Amino acid sequence: MFYVSDRTAITAETIGHSLIAQFEGSPDYREVTIPYVDTPEKAIAVNARINAAAEADGETPLVFSTLADPQTRAGIIESQGLVLDLFHVFIEPMAEALALEPVIKRTRSHRISNLSSYEARIGAIDYSLQHDDGARIKDYDNADIIIVGVSRSGKTPTCLYLAMQFGIRAANYPITEEDMESSTLPAPVAPYPERLHGLTIDAKRLASIREERRPGSRYASVEQCRIEVRRVEALFKSFQIPYINSTNTSVEEIATRVVQTRGMERHSVL
Amino acid sequence: MFYVSDRTAITAETIGHSLIAQFEGSPDYREVTIPYVDTPEKAIAVNARINAAAEADGETPLVFSTLADPQTRAGIIESQGLVLDLFHVFIEPMAEALALEPVIKRTRSHRISNLSSYEARIGAIDYSLQHDDGARIKDYDNADIIIVGVSRSGKTPTCLYLAMQFGIRAANYPITEEDMESSTLPAPVAPYPERLHGLTIDAKRLASIREERRPGSRYASVEQCRIEVRRVEALFKSFQIPYINSTNTSVEEIATRVVQTRGMERHSVL
């Protein structure tokens, strides 16, 4: 699988991964990412690599590409690979629907096209970092969402993804044993019931994650994890906090569900 | 612009943004993201929304979709929008090249398909957080890359993106005025010259970013920023540290260039 682009190739990788996931039992494959293929000459060099791979393996390479310039695209489209190019397929019908000609500027995607939304996103990352793990609990007024859960249940990556991908100011607050024994919501988050979203996790998985941090500790024992998980789920239920189990769920999936459950607007900038 | 998916719709958003960036002077548009459209019934409801938008605006909605199930896809493909579906276009040629039938599992993308690479990514996020802003300078042995630059030049978002998107353990170390006066590399990073990558930024932009943090301070003055930027660039040059200007460059772009310059492997998991 080749990912070829005149820019970062992140879109090409994303497309390739989405598509290959639809096939089971596909043979093992190697992945080669080639960004910044922005001249016909570079494309011809890539063509040679694709053909060399085809000949070495006796298989058809799959080439996922995002090459805006038709001339550059022409450099690889005749290769021995199966070239699946996003622009090649979709630009023309879009141009017709918009009644506009594409500008074919290689420099457009992944530049900062909208400064204010880019700044909002960087601001969200800053905010989420500053409000990680219960730090600065006094400033939750500005949070779009507050992720709650026991220690090591996946709060931090979730918040960073929410900030990075969706421009959402996501704080997180760790639920302690003390919090779980109380019959009220923890004081710092109590004023914001409608902004809370819970994370839970299977106790065994939690124990193995904690074991890496503090091997052999009570904190990392399966028994302790079981108790905490049971109690935190009871707390979520009694305060009607929506929650999601992070055990087999990627941060992309968790973040998307949080946004949907809480009816928030997402501002993907990529 | 509609982004419609049976999963998170992140891929659909990415595709739509890449494509629309190829057009200049396109009319203002609104964006609607609809994730988890995973039954024909839900697709029919989306169809109605697309048609309502078409009639309200008198324009053809652009619909970027990733719907794996042909039956679900059929629910929107006859809408008044221009439906550009990734799977519709690319799955068949892939199936032929692979000599495999697609499984059409709606649950495949964005699940954790490869646990070890997912864990490596979460580990990289943890590492990058723990080594943000010169914290834990003794543990750089495990860094894949160390980003260096003056305060507020964009090191933290770059490191988090490197970790989140590419699974790279990225530390960052702030270059202080003291460091700039020295004729040697700062002691903590000196053992790793081949892992360093610099960030610089236009002085005026830096001043405006710092102004938000400490209004009216010497730290935020354009003059001070000019001095620091000039000195840090001189330092990069004298120690042959590759560097990139973050002023008009998105984190995606910076991260991709860092990876390419340092010849690192990227492991996109999305």
How many angstroms away from the CA of A174 is the closest CA of chain B? 16
Q: Among all residues of chain B, which has the CA nearest to that of A69? A: B22
- For residue B21, pLDDT over 80 is answered with yes
Question: Do residue B164 and residue A156 have CB atoms under 8 angstroms apart?
Answer: no
B184-188: long-range pairs with CB below 8 Å, 24+:
B185/B239, B186/B148, B188/B134, B188/B137, B188/B138, B188/B140
pLDDT band for position A9 (cuts 50, 70, 90): very high
What is the spatial distance between Cα A91 and Cα A70, in angstroms, rounded to a whole number?
Answer: 11
Other residues' Cβ atoms within 10 Å of the Cβ of residue A89? 15
All residues of chain A having their beta carbon less than 8 Å from the beta carbon of residue B156 are: 125-126, 129
**Does residue A192 share a domain with residue A124?**
yes
Extended beta strands in B168-208, E state: 170-174, 196-200
Q: Among all residues of chain B, which has the CA nearest to that of A209? A: B119
Best mutation target, B3, B11, B14, to test chain A (most A CBs within 10 A): B14
Asked which of B70, B98, B126 is the last residue of a domain, the reply is B98
Which structure tokens are listed for A236? 């979520």
CATH number of the domain residue B218 falls in: 3.40.50
Question: Do residue B26 and residue A98 have CB atoms under 8 angstroms apart?
Answer: yes
Average pLDDT over residues A216-232: 96
Which structure tokens are listed for B11? 């891929």
CB of B157 closer than 8 Å to CB of B172: no
A110 is a domain residue? no
pLDDT band for position B266 (cuts 50, 70, 90): confident
- For residue A270, pLDDT over 60 is answered with no
Question: Do residue A95 and residue B23 have CB atoms under 8 angstroms apart?
Answer: yes
Of the candidates A199, A174, A200, the residue with the CA atom closest to the CA atom of residue A188: A174
CA contacts within 13 A on the Cβ side of A172? 25
- For residue A221, pLDDT over 80 is answered with yes
- For residue A264, pLDDT over 90 is answered with no
Over chain A, what HEC string results? CEEEECCCCHHHHHHHHHHHCCECCCCCCCCEEECCCCCHHHHHHHHHHHHHHHHHHCCCCEEEEECCCHHHHHHHHCCCCEEEEHHHHHHHHHHHHHCCCECCCCCCCCECCCHHHHHHHHHHHHHHHHCHHHCCHHHHHHCCEEEEECCCCCHHHHHHHHHHHHCCCEEEEECCHHHHHCCCCCCCCCCCHHHEEEEECCHHHHHHHHHHHCCCCCCCCHHHHHHHHHHHHHHHHHCCCCEEECCCECHHHHHHHHHHHCCCCCCCCC
How many angstroms away from the CA of B182 is the closest CA of chain A? 30
All residues of chain B having their beta carbon less than 8 Å from the beta carbon of residue A60 are: 97
Burial class (CB in 10 A: 0-12, 13-18, 19+), B257: middle
**Does residue B146 share a domain with residue B121?**
yes
Where would I find the H helices in chain B?
Answer: 10-20, 40-57, 70-77, 86-98, 115-130, 155-166, 177-181, 203-213, 222-238, 251-261
pLDDT single digits (tens) A153-211: 999 999 999 999 999 999 999 999 899 888 899 999 999 999 999 999 999 999 999 99
**Does residue B219 share a domain with residue B158?**
yes
Range of the domain at A35: 2-98
CB of A199 closer than 8 Å to CB of A154: yes
**Does residue B94 share a domain with residue B128?**
no
Question: Do residue A98 and residue B23 have CB atoms under 8 angstroms apart?
Answer: yes
**Does residue B162 share a domain with residue B43?**
no
A266 is a domain residue? no
Other residues' Cβ atoms within 10 Å of the Cβ of residue A45? 13
Domains contained in chain A, number: 2
Q: In which residue are the tokens 């979460």 written?
A: B122
All residues of chain B having their beta carbon less than 8 Å from the beta carbon of residue A25 are: 100
Q: In which residue are the tokens 């989420």 written?
A: A128
Of the candidates B225, B224, B227, B263, the residue with the CA atom closest to the CA atom of residue B242: B263
Average pLDDT over residues B242-258: 93
pTM: 0.87
ipTM value for the complex:
0.86
From residue B63, how far is each of A67, B34, B46, B90 by CA, in Å? 21, 11, 10, 16
Sign of the dihedral through C-alpha A211, B160, B219, B217: negative
All residues of chain A having their beta carbon less than 8 Å from the beta carbon of residue B7 are: 253, 256
**Does residue B244 share a domain with residue B130?**
yes
Q: Among all residues of chain B, which has the CA nearest to that of A88? A: B19
Residue B198 φ/ψ, nearest 5 degrees: -95, 155
**Does residue B241 share a domain with residue B204?**
yes
**Does residue B43 share a domain with residue B7?**
yes
How many angstroms away from the CA of A270 is the closest CA of chain B? 6
Which structure tokens are listed for A247? 């055990």
Q: Quick one: pLDDT at residue A49?
A: 97
How many angstroms away from the CA of A199 is the closest CA of chain B? 16
How many angstroms away from the CA of B189 is the closest CA of chain A? 24
Question: Do residue A22 and residue B249 have CB atoms under 8 angstroms apart?
Answer: no
B267 is a domain residue? no
Question: Do residue B15 and residue A86 have CB atoms under 8 angstroms apart?
Answer: yes
Q: Among all residues of chain A, which has the CA nearest to that of B115? A: A248
A127 is a domain residue? yes
Q: What is the mean pLDDT of chain A?
A: 91
**Does residue B250 share a domain with residue B158?**
yes
B253 is a domain residue? yes
B159 is a domain residue? yes
Q: Among all residues of chain B, which has the CA nearest to that of A33? A: B266
CB of B90 closer than 8 Å to CB of B28: no
Q: Quick one: pLDDT at residue B2?
A: 97
Question: Do residue B270 and residue A252 have CB atoms under 8 angstroms apart?
Answer: yes
Question: Do residue B33 and residue A103 have CB atoms under 8 angstroms apart?
Answer: no
**Does residue A134 share a domain with residue A217?**
yes
- For residue B196, pLDDT over 90 is answered with yes
Of the candidates B156, B122, B160, the residue with the CA atom closest to the CA atom of residue A251: B122
What is the spatial distance between Cα B254 and Cα B270, in angstroms, rounded to a whole number?
Answer: 18
Question: Do residue B15 and residue A156 have CB atoms under 8 angstroms apart?
Answer: no
B143 is a domain residue? yes
All residues of chain A having their beta carbon less than 8 Å from the beta carbon of residue B15 are: 11, 15, 86, 90
CA contacts within 13 A on the Cβ side of A53? 20
pLDDT single digits (tens) A105-162: 655 445 566 677 788 888 999 999 999 888 777 789 999 999 999 999 999 999 999 9
**Does residue B149 share a domain with residue B52?**
no
Closest partner residue to B60 (CB to CB) among A86, A97, A132 is A97
**Does residue A124 share a domain with residue A176?**
yes
All residues of chain A having their beta carbon less than 8 Å from the beta carbon of residue B79 are: none
What is the spatial distance between Cα A134 and Cα B53, in angstroms, rounded to a whole number?
Answer: 42
Q: Quick one: pLDDT at residue B134?
A: 80
Write the DSSP string, B245-261. E-TTB-HHHHHHHHHHH
B106 is a domain residue? no
